[in-house]
Structure 1
Amino acid sequence: MVPTRTMAVAVLAAAALTGVARAADAPPLSVPAKVLAVPTADISPQMQAFIAKPLNPDWNFHPKTGAEWRAMAEKIAAGVVPGLPAMRERLHVKSEPGTIAGVKVTVVTPDTIPPANADKVVIHVHGGCYVYFPGESGTTEALMMAGFGGYKVIAVDYRMPPDAYFPAALDDAMAVYRDTIKTTSPRNVAIEGTSAGGALVLEMVAKAKQDGLPMPGAIAPGTPMADVTKTGDSFYTNEFVDNVLVSPSGFCDDAAAFYAHGHDMRDPLLSPVYADMTGFPPAILTTGTRDQLLSNTVRVHRKLRRAGVEADLNVYEGESHAQYQFDDRVPETREAFTEIAAFFGRHLGR
């Protein structure tokens, strides 16, 4: 008998089903060691310099005490804060510290707000694995959102370990959200953040849904720490390729456990990829091909789409974790925040 195309398809389908059935028992794929060149096609020289950097020297930092975590946070903040005045000047924004609903915030305002954005607000929750970037040091992304997007931005300086543990960061962010929607229509409010901030964006929406609060108009969870159980292909395929997080067993894993303080790591308010995303607002997600959290981002995107939510996924060539927001002078940074701002522009107020 001569095989037909129909027969061939049937054989392939049967093989695929068999493969699915046996996947759990399949041996892991052994990948030979290789040397990765710095990609250059369609990547700015500025971003190539970030991609070419050696592995984060602090990736294997495993503090034993709260004091050690605090000392590292203060060290990192001390390296960020001196550059903020020049950054504000370049982006033509001003920032003012304040308090909303008992939570410390920084309100960032562009020198010129487009008329279409006059009644819009972006709430920003910073990254840093729930332990880094306290105070003013956590406002860099808020400055970019205000400068490139032309929005008033409220940056939440949420409580962090060792002063407070889960769910303190979420509680603080939600307090600011609740207060904001008293005077601004929720449809005119966007929530944005990267890494732990990206996870908090999703956690805030899950919590708002849980509490019966109105949804924001749009969200931008950038490369979110959406699954702190270290589930996801790119945790391992990009290990020692991502020059920021480096390994799933590095500092960020310790930081997430430190923040969780013994809480179930699969709780959707810690690992929001496990949340029911039905009814979530339109979302734009950003990541890079070398990002250890590429899978986290992809999984959230697919879950949103499967829930019927409009969701855009922007993946940048060669970038490691969160590198799209490392420097406001890099073309890809302007591109990323311009994309986010345009997405907000299409959805806020609708």
Structure 2
Amino acid sequence: MKINPLLKQYITESILKSTLRFPSRLNLPPTVLRVALEQLSKVFPQPKNVAFKALRIAGIRAEEIKPQPETTQLIFHIHGGAFFLGSMNTHRAFMSEIALRTQMQVLHLDYPLSPEQCFPDVGEAIYDVYRMLLDQGVLTKDIIVSGDSCGANLALGLALRLRDEDPKLLPSGLMLMSPFLDLTLTSESLRYNQKHDALLSIEVLETGMSHYVPKGIDRSDPALSPIFADLKGLPPTLVQIGSKEILMDDAKRFEEKAKAAGVKVEYKLYTGMWHNFQMFSAWFDEAKQALADIAEFAHKLDRN
């Protein structure tokens, strides 16, 4: 029996608000929320026809997902979770879908979460993994760095550091999904979308920052809030955002500033979608389209 798309969306948003957004606003220990999120992530169907391999790179646990035995193109993904949630388990189904859609291998990390580790140690760990890949012979032209939510923050921060160190170290492209780029929380959409975003709340962002940002550090520092960085010299970048996201203006502001700096940006806005909607491709056409757009962008980089 087919469910009316609007009814299906209403039901999904109601479930997400009651099972994820509301509990995450409570003052619960990070370990409790992490376990709950991993349990809830089991509802995402795990695609078949992909192979998994556990790795440890630069001391960080990682997982390689391959849709075919021979593939040189690599999507280096940094998961979201407001700096204190998320794991390879929560994102495995999503990353498997991306691997299948792009026919590229995906590498995603169990990077250190806060408060166990905070800024700048988290970024250092991710940087060390990237440099280790290069030391192992992976070519920068074969790497696309991607991230969702706070993972997009870390992905952009990584790219900016590589650019400043040596532009030759930059990957072929960036993919920023539902990016959280302004830790000062000055984007207007945080207010006008706070009742509409089914997944993410301002309280969760504030909790995450309290774990991630050491006391006394200015949150407008570009190393923390890359929206305030000089964006010149970045590789081609795909930005995806939903119209109901509290972070919508983070994405829009990045697009405007990056284009003004001469960066090739593809900005995609998906009507009626909430934070990290791409993970719901099993049920929503907008999420399926987002994955198709990711594949198109990745293939375009590969051809170039």
TM-score, reference length from structure 1 = 0.78
Q: Tell me the alpha carbon deviations over residues 93-149 of structure 1, each in whole angstroms, 9 at most, x when there is no partner.
A: 122211112211011111466xxxx32111010011111113433433322211221
Say yes or no: does 1:230 pair with 2:189: no
Distance in 2 between residues matched to 1:137 and 1:289, nearest whole Å: 23
Say yes or no: does 1:124 pair with 2:81: no
Contact 1:59 1:244 in 2 (8 A): no
Deviation at 1:44?
7.4
Deviation at 1:309?
0.6
**After superposition, where does 1:245-324 map in structure 2 within 5 Å?**
245-246=200-201, 248=202, 250-262=203-215, 263-324=217-278
How has the CA–CA distance of structure 1 residues 135 and 98 changed in structure 2, closer, same or farther, with 3 Å as cutoff?
A: same
Distance in 2 between residues matched to 1:175 and 1:204, nearest whole Å: 10
Say yes or no: does 1:341 pair with 2:295: yes
Deviation at 1:72?
1.4
Amino acid at match of 1:260: V
TM-score, reference length from structure 2 = 0.89
C-alpha RMSD of the superposition: 2.2
Amino acid at match of 2:12: F
Deviation at 1:295?
0.1
Contact 1:218 1:348 in 2 (8 A): no
How has the CA–CA distance of structure 1 residues 309 and 83 changed in structure 2, closer, same or farther, with 3 Å as cutoff?
A: same
Distance in 2 between residues matched to 1:46 and 1:93, nearest whole Å: 29
Distance in 1 between residues matched to 2:8 and 2:27, nearest whole Å: 31
Deviation at 1:282?
0.4
How has the CA–CA distance of structure 1 residues 98 and 133 changed in structure 2, closer, same or farther, with 3 Å as cutoff?
A: same
Q: Which residue of 1 aligns with 2:37?
A: 76
Say yes or no: does 1:100 pair with 2:53: no
SS at match of 1:312: strand
Which of 2, 13, 22 is the matching residue for 1:57? 22
How has the CA–CA distance of structure 1 residues 48 and 341 changed in structure 2, closer, same or farther, with 3 Å as cutoff?
A: farther
Deviation at 1:261?
2.3
Contact 2:72 2:104 in 1 (8 A): no
Deviation at 1:327?
4.3
Which of 269, 280, 284 is the matching residue for 1:326? 280
Bigger radius of gyration, 1 or 2? 1
Consecutive unaligned residues in structure 1, runs of 5 or more: 1-39
Which of 133, 148, 151 is the matching residue for 2:104? 151
Distance in 1 between residues matched to 2:101 and 2:8, nearest whole Å: 18
Amino acid at match of 2:295: A
Say yes or no: does 1:88 pair with 2:47: yes
Distance in 1 between residues matched to 2:92 and 2:182, nearest whole Å: 24
Q: Which residue of 2 aligns with 1:218?
A: 173
Percent identical residues: 21
Which of 194, 200, 219 is the matching residue for 1:239? 194
How many residues of Structure 1 are paired with residues of Structure 2 in the alignment? Answer: 295
Deviation at 1:195?
0.4
Distance in 2 between residues matched to 1:75 and 1:53, nearest whole Å: 14
Say yes or no: does 1:172 pair with 2:125: yes
Consecutive unaligned residues in structure 2, runs of 5 or more: none
Q: Which residue of 1 aligns with 2:148?
A: 194
Q: Tell me the alpha carbon deviations over residues 158-211 of structure 1, each in whole angstroms, 9 at most, x when there is no partner.
A: 001232111232122211211222312211110111101111111111111232
SS at match of 2:144: strand
Distance in 1 between residues matched to 2:26 and 2:97, nearest whole Å: 29
Distance in 2 between residues matched to 1:162 and 1:235, nearest whole Å: 24
Deviation at 1:47?
4.6
Distance in 2 between residues matched to 1:275 and 1:348, nearest whole Å: 27
Contact 1:220 1:285 in 2 (8 A): yes
How has the CA–CA distance of structure 1 residues 47 and 168 changed in structure 2, closer, same or farther, with 3 Å as cutoff?
A: farther
Contact 2:60 2:125 in 1 (8 A): yes
